[in-house]
Amino acid sequence: MSNTVLYQQAGNTFFIIDNRDESFDHRDKFSIKSLSKRYNVDGVILLQNSIKANYKMVFFNNDGSRAGMCGNGIASLARYIYDNIQECKNINMETDSGILKLEISTTNVTLKIPLNSIKDLNLDIKIEEDTVHHINTGVPHAIIYKDVSNIKKEGAKIRYNHFFAPEGCNVDFVKINDNGITIRTYERGVEDETKACGTGALASALITHKKFALAMPILVKTESGETLEVNLDDKYITLTGSPKKYVLPQTS
């Protein structure tokens, strides 16, 4: 398999395959799972040709399931394109969640999602003792404002609740700080906590802005310790981070 590499943003690591020649069979779920396990990544990304945009991203969770989009993943893919294919400052990327715009500098990548593509907003859903807010920012998310010690247990309880059937959702546990928010995310397809989630950062910031009038831009501190910035204007909600090539640690 030629032209493959690892990239990372905010602690999320992705195995990227330049599949514009379509030599990799994206229907091969076993190979996706094997790659994810071998390299211990959060997802596998295929870069493909598009007749609708500059490029196409096909994203897989590390269990082999296909997802509509991944915020940190698409930013990592944009950085991969900038580093290895062309130093373009703007990219239109086709995804299963629509065509998205990315702006690239030497250090940062900003993902721009049209506000009219944000859907399924439901506030103040009661699930047992929890008040949950739901929104789809390319991937469905449930937002809860509370501290939890067992993310896997508490996240799974919401992720598999009948309210979100049949596709389920990611679950973000949010705490509001003086200068932004801190999030911890249970991610479907991983079925456990991940170090960060780009679409979760977008969802959590947008819900916090709506519910608590927290001013944009909002800094989102992830479990990795890295911070993403979410901003808003009349047309777009944006996510800015600093993706980079990831080198596997040397083992003795």
Catalytic residues: 70, 197
Asked if 235 and 114 touch (Cβ cutoff 8 Å), the reply is yes
Structure tokens at 139: 């991937």
- Dihedral pair phi/psi, residue 176, rounded to 5°: -90, 130
- Residues 6 or more apart from 167 whose CB is under 8 A from it? 140
Choose among 176, 180, 182, 184: nearest CA to 218: 180
The whole-angstrom separation of Cα 69 and Cα 73 is 8
